[in-house]
């Protein structure tokens, strides 16, 4: 790895020669600007406004623009004489617990490599001291024309340095949180905890840039003269109206994405009707056959079929115990209706058979006894 800065770590009276190298690299796909009509490259040229001509890099210097628009030239020699001790030194100023560092302050990461054999012993000493103390070193250093703040910590067998923002460069989160008072219920917190537990942990090494991979596929297809792959159409997310329902759906989806693990607990959150517990319905005894048998007996008796009336009476009498077991009120109503129907049928039959034979007169007493 190519070093971008050479200097030394100042650790009290100990000086450790080091080289600064980038600890990260970008894999982003970069594009060039072209003229869409003919594909020609679009380039930027550095032109002097006063002479209206392009100038070479060697002719370009630095300047500070004042409030009135005037330029104050600043040369490399001016920068080299700045009255700061960190021009070529990473000066350690304190050792603090890592929890004291706000992640909002952390910026670019670098590796500090020992420069030469003489740096091996003090480098190792600082590394082991940081390990044993479980602390990080806060340091100041100058890089690219400005003094910066850094945090030194151990990564494997190396010392890494994270660039830190100065405390006054981190904005306060004013106006970010919701203004309205919001109350979160315990049930919602429980579902949020369940969702976090279901998603669980992940090895960061398994994560990759899917956008870059898809972009590379498009570039490869167009380079080969093929049709670029089409994007998969994903269902648009529905409008969230109920937070509890959204949390339950999220937990269920997370469990399915993890291979359908523990689907049973998700069912426990469903709301079930109380009638599903096995309690008999109030209409069940009526549907057992009370009305059907009564109406059938009444129709047959009204038609003048005495035998059918007796049979219906016997069936109604046989079903009396079962009706009493299901509900006394229902049995009483069924018996009253059956008796009324029989009396009406008997009266009609007596009227119709007034001029009938002696056989009809003999059947009338039997109907009265059955009634």
Tens digit of pLDDT for each residue in 234-289? 666 656 557 777 778 887 887 777 765 444 444 444 444 334 444 444 444 444 44
270, 296 in Cβ contact below 8 A? no
What is the number of residues in the chain? 371
Answer yes or no: is pLDDT of 356 > 60: no
45, 36 in Cβ contact below 8 A? no
Name 32's Cβ contacts closer than 8 Å, sequence gap at least 6.
Answer: 41, 42
Please report the pLDDT score of residue 235 as a whole number. 61
SS3 134: coil
Beta bridge partners of 113: 19
Beta bridge partners of 99: none
100-114, 213-227, 263-277: which range is least confident on average? Answer: 263-277
- Main-chain phi, psi angles of 326, to 5 degrees: -70, -35
- Of 316 and 117, more confident: 117
Please report the pLDDT score of residue 146 as a whole number. 80
Q: What does the alpha-carbon distance between residue 296 and residue 274 come to, in Å, rounded to a whole number?
A: 36
Cα–Cα–Cα angle for 357, 360, 361, rounded to 5 degrees: 90
Query: Structure tokens of 207?
Result: 């994560």
Per-residue pLDDT reduced to its tens digit, 54-70: 999 999 999 999 999 99
Query: Structure tokens of 235?
Result: 């269902």
- Main-chain phi, psi angles of 339, to 5 degrees: -65, -45
**Average pLDDT over every residue of 355-360:** 45
- Of 342 and 23, more confident: 23
Query: Structure tokens of 141?
Result: 């250093």
Torsion of CA 41, 44, 45, 50, to 10 degrees: 140
24, 108 in Cβ contact below 8 A? yes
CA proximity to 314, closest of 342, 286, 346, 345: 342
Beta bridge partners of 48: 53
Confidence of residue 310 (pLDDT cuts 50, 70, 90): very low
Per-residue pLDDT reduced to its tens digit, 141-200: 988 778 899 999 999 999 999 999 999 999 999 888 888 888 888 988 988 888 888 887
Name 123's Cβ contacts closer than 8 Å, sequence gap at least 6.
Answer: 16, 18, 112, 114, 159
Per-residue pLDDT reduced to its tens digit, 316-351: 444 444 444 444 444 444 444 455 555 555 545 544
Task: Strands of the chain (E only): list them.
Answer: 3-11, 14-22, 47-48, 53-54, 62-65, 71-74, 89-97, 106-114, 135-143, 146-155, 158-164
Q: What does the alpha-carbon distance between residue 282 and residue 334 come to, in Å, rounded to a whole number?
A: 15
Tokens 């151990």 appear where? 154
SS3 227: coil
């Amino acid at each position: 790895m190519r070093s971008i800065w050479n200097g030394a770590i100042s650790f009290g009276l100990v000086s450790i020669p080091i080289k600064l190298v980038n600890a990260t690299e970008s894999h982003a796909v970069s594009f060039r600007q072209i003229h869409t009509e003919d594909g020609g490259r679009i380039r930027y040229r550095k032109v002097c406004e006063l002479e209206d001509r392009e100038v070479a890099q060697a002719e370009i210097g630095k300047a500070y623009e004042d409030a009135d628009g005037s330029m104050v030239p600043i040369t490399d020699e001016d920068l080299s004489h700045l009255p700061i001790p960190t021009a070529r030194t990473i000066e350690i100023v304190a050792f603090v617990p890592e929890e004291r560092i706000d992640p909002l302050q952390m910026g670019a990461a670098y590796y500090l490599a020992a420069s030469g054999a003489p740096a091996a012993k003090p480098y190792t000493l600082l590394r082991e001291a940081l390990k044993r103390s479980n602390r990080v070193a806060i340091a100041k250093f100058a890089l690219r024309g400005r003094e910066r703040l850094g945090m030194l910590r151990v990564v494997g067998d190396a010392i890494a340095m994270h660039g830190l923002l100065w405390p006054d460069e981190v904005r306060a989160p004013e106006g970010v949180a919701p203004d309205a008072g919001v109350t979160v219920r315990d049930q919602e917190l429980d579902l949020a905890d369940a969702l976090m537990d279901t998603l669980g942990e992940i090895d960061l090494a398994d994560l990759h840039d899917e956008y870059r991979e898809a972009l590379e596929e498009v570039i490869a297809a167009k380079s080969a003269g093929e049709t670029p792959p089409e994007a998969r159409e994903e269902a648009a997310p529905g409008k969230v109206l109920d937070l509890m329902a959204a949390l339950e759906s999220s937990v269920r989806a997370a469990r399915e994405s993890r291979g359908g693990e523990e689907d049973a607990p998700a069912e426990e959150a469903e709301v079930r009707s109380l009638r599903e517990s096995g309690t008999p319905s109030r209409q069940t005894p009526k549907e057992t056959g009370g009305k059907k048998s009564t109406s059938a007996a009444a129709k047959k008796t009204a038609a003048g079929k005495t035998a059918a009336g007796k049979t219906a009476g016997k069936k109604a009498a046989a079903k009396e115990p079962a009706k009493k077991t299901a509900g006394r009120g229902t049995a009483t109503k069924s018996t009253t209706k059956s008796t009324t129907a029989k009396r009406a049928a008997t009266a009609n039959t007596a009227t119709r058979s007034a001029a009938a034979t002696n056989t009809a007169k003999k059947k009338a007493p039997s109907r009265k006894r059955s009634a």
